[in-house]
Structures are given as structure tokens and as C-alpha cells.
Structure 1
Amino acid sequence: MEQLLMVAIKEEDLIPIVEGSMVVIVGKRGYHMNYIAQKLLEKLKAYLTIYEVSKEFVARMTLMRNLGRTLRGDYKTLVAPLFPVIFIGGKLVGGLDQLIAIHVTGKLIPMLKEAGAIWL
């Protein structure tokens, strides 16, 4: 999934944004999970960039993700694309669940410090 996501990010021409920003949240417009990720990072005083993807990008990601599941033999469940997608220091962290897991384990603040996104 990570490779597929990175290809889509490159096609959307987001590589310069991801590489040039300390923290990037890529998400669908008006999606509540973006807001949760944003608020968590803002409470930590992280400097972040939010990029809202187009409907076409969401449709393409949904199609590619479901095609991948079908090719692996998982015909039972079709899924929506992973949003939001969070990058810290140009590196893919993953979705909101990974962001929260990193925070709970105490690794998020050091990651943000290393990326220069916070100065605690």
C-alpha cells in the first residue's frame, strides 16, 4: 500500500510539498479525520501544512486500493482510501491511526523535533 500511495502522491505532484514541509496532512476536503490529525498536531504546537486532494485523486486511490485487494484475493471487502495521510520530515507516517500510535508510544514529539516542526 505504501508504494501505491507514493506513486499517487507523485502523480498529484505533492513531492515538492512533502519534501519542503516539516509536517504535511494530505486529506479529503471536509473529512473529519483530517481535523483530528490537525488538532493533535496543533496542540503539540507543530508547524504543519494541510493539502486537500481533488475528488479525482480520491477516486483514483479508492480504485487502486480496491484493485490491489482484489488481486490479492480479498473479494469480500472493498475499502475507501487511507485519509488523512501524514508526512513528518518528508517521511510517510501513515494514517491517523499510525499518528496516534506514535504519539501514545512517546515517539511523536521526538519525530517532530527532528523534523524541526516543534521547538519544545
Structure 2
Amino acid sequence: MSHRNFFPTSSGGSSAAATSGSSRSTSNQSTRKVRKTRIAKMVADNVVVIVAVHGCFMCVTVNSLMQRLGVNPKMVEVEEEEKTATLVKLSKIEDRIGGPWELPAVYVGGKLLGGVDKVIEAHLKGELVPMLRAAGV
């Protein structure tokens, strides 16, 4: 009588459960690549992208500042319950470790500028407009 092992063993034996889990993780990895590509493409294809939480006052403030500077940013609004998943996706765009920790996340010329604090800081230092011009706005 043959015995089928459905759980991974410490000796490295494969199992039906481990095999089916592997195919699921491969499927999940390809799905993640599609999502990453879509988000990365959006950031790459638009000079200024603001990823915001729907109804967020600070997100509206950053968008208003950009519009007053003559920029028409690509606004991507997510619901509050999508915020964490969106931040995880955004963190995978950057080659460096980390990514935005809060929304809004502002991208200029395909690079993360930062959140509302970085945008306001750059504006007050007189660095935002030259940065926008250098990006092609």
C-alpha cells in the first residue's frame, strides 16, 4: 500500500499540497507583475502623478497647489480600505528600498517626490517649479 504525503517533510520531499501551493504562488507572482507594470507604466507615462485617498484634504491641497503652478497632474484616487495595498504596490516601483509611507504620494518625472510634506518643503525652498520644468511640465 503506498502512502501519499500531503504535507511537506523535513527531508525535502514534495507533496501534493506543496505542489499546488507552488502553482498558486507562480500565478500570484505573475498577477503581481501585471499590477506592478500597470502602476509603473502610469507613473512613467505621466509627468506628474498624485496617488491619493478619495476625499483626503491633504491630497486635495497638493492637487490644488500643482494646478495653481500650471500643472495638470494625473490624479489616482483610491478608497481608504485600498490605501495599504496601494502603498505596497507603489513601494515596488522604486528601485531603492522603501517607497511612500503615506498618501498622497507625488511622482514627478517618474520619480517619487514624496508626500504632502516633501511637496510643500520643495515649494517653499523654491525647488518645486524647477523640478517640474526639468521633468517637462
The TM-score normalised by the length of structure 2 is 0.59
Flag structure 2 segments of 5+ consecutive residues without an equivalent.
Answer: 1-31, 89-100
Q: How many residues align?
A: 92
Correspondent of 1:30 among 55, 67, 74: 55
What amino acid is the match of 1:29?
A: H
Distance 1:52 1:59, change over 3 A: same
Distance 1:57 1:12, change over 3 A: farther
Distance 1:45 1:55, change over 3 A: same
What amino acid is the match of 1:82?
A: E
Deviation, 1:57, is 3.0
Query: Counterparts of 1:12 and 1:26 in 2: how far apart (Å)?
Result: 16
Distance 1:62 1:88, change over 3 A: closer
- Contact 1:22 / 1:47 at 8 angstroms: preserved in 2? no
Q: Deviations over 1:42-89 (max 9, x none)?
A: 0100131000124453143689xxxxxxxxxxxxxxxxx501000000
- What is the match of residue 44 of structure 1? 69
Correspondent of 1:103 among 101, 123, 126: 123
- Is the counterpart of residue 87 in structure 1 residue 112 in structure 2? no
Deviation, 1:30, is 1.1
Greater Rg, structure 1 or structure 2? 2
The TM-score normalised by the length of structure 1 is 0.67
Larger RCO: Structure 1 or Structure 2 (Cα < 8 Å, ≥ 6 residues apart)?
1
Q: Secondary structure at the match of 2:76?
A: strand
Overall identity of the aligned pairs, in %: 32
Runs of 4+ in structure 1 over 4 Å off: none
Query: Counterparts of 2:53 and 2:133 in 1: how far apart (Å)?
Result: 27
